Chain A
Amino acid sequence: KAGVTQTPRYLIKTRGQQVTLSCSPISGHRSVSWYQQTPGQGLQFLFEYFSETQRNKGNFPGRFSGRQFSNSRSEMNVSTLELGDSALYLCASSLGDRDLLIHNSPLHFGNGTRLTVT
């Protein structure tokens, strides 16, 4: 079974531009979540999607957005890039479940997209 696939692996953008990152979850997984990793802040939760609906969001400005398609693939977008957005962006998928009170499956991460903003 193929793992979580993220594209592209590396990206260099200029301040003010926007960027779109893509994530294909493990087949059958319906939950996709995104994380940002920086040396200063560590790993931080961005948002989670389940069945095309965002059901959880971290403390990031509105410049960070995402969506999920009917095949569970997900994209995240960062607009008006800032130098501080340089980071490793990681996507994770899991079987997930509709009831937020129950969690019964581990998260599996992709290799990440390393974004550099100059």
Chain B
Amino acid sequence: GIQVEQSPPDLILQEGANSTLRCNFSDSVNNLQWFHQNPWGQLINLFYIPSGTKQNGRLSATTVATERYSLLYISSSQTTDSGVYFCAVLLTGGGNKLTFGTGTQLKVEL
């Protein structure tokens, strides 16, 4: 099956710093989503981004489908950004079966 790898696995930032999270996938995908899982376990949909670039406040994401990777940028990080960030992909013909990466655990410190 498709492999989804995320890097780095862990990241510690000082508040105000910027960061880039990467997601590589091994096969062509129909779509890609980025999620933030908060300490209570809720998965929050950040971006739905099969290709191109999107921005939402301090967050932005870029997917280059032809090269099989996606990037999530966090600027001016805040302590509330802490948690685990997952990318998840949908295969063509796979319906709504998301394959998740292993996640990046982010901790933002004061």
Contact = CB atoms under 8 A, between A and B. Distances in A.
A and B associate: yes
Interface of A: 31, 33, 35, 37, 42-45, 48, 50, 55-56, 58, 88, 90, 92, 94, 96, 100-101, 103, 105-112, 114
B33 interface: yes
B41 A56 contact: no
B78 interface: no
A107 B94 CA distance: 14
Q: For the complex of A and B, list the 3 residue pairs with the smallest distance between their C-beta atoms, beginning with the closest.
A: A106-B48, A109-B43, A43-B100
B41 A103 contact: no
Contacts of B96: 31, 33, 48, 50, 56, 92, 94, 96, 103, 107
Given A88-B41, A109-B42, A35 B94 contact: no
Contacts of A88: 41
Interface of B: 30-31, 33, 35, 40-45, 48, 86, 88, 90, 92-100, 102-103
For A90, A96, A107, A114, the residue with the greatest tally of chain B CB atoms inside 10 Å of its CB is A107
A43 B86 contact: yes
Contacts of A103: 30-31, 90, 94-96
B94 A100 contact: yes
A interface majority secondary structure: strand
Contacts of A44: 100
Contacts of B48: 105-106
B95 A109 contact: no
A111 B40 contact: yes
B30 A42 contact: no
Contacts of B97: 33, 45, 48, 56, 58
Given A48-B97, A56-B97, A42 B103 contact: yes
Given A100-B93, A106-B48, A111 B41 contact: yes
19 contacts: A31-B95, A42-B102, A43-B86, A43-B100, A50-B96, A55-B95, A90-B43, A92-B43, A92-B96, A92-B98, A94-B96, A100-B93, A103-B31, A103-B90, A106-B45, A106-B48, A107-B96, A111-B42, A112-B41
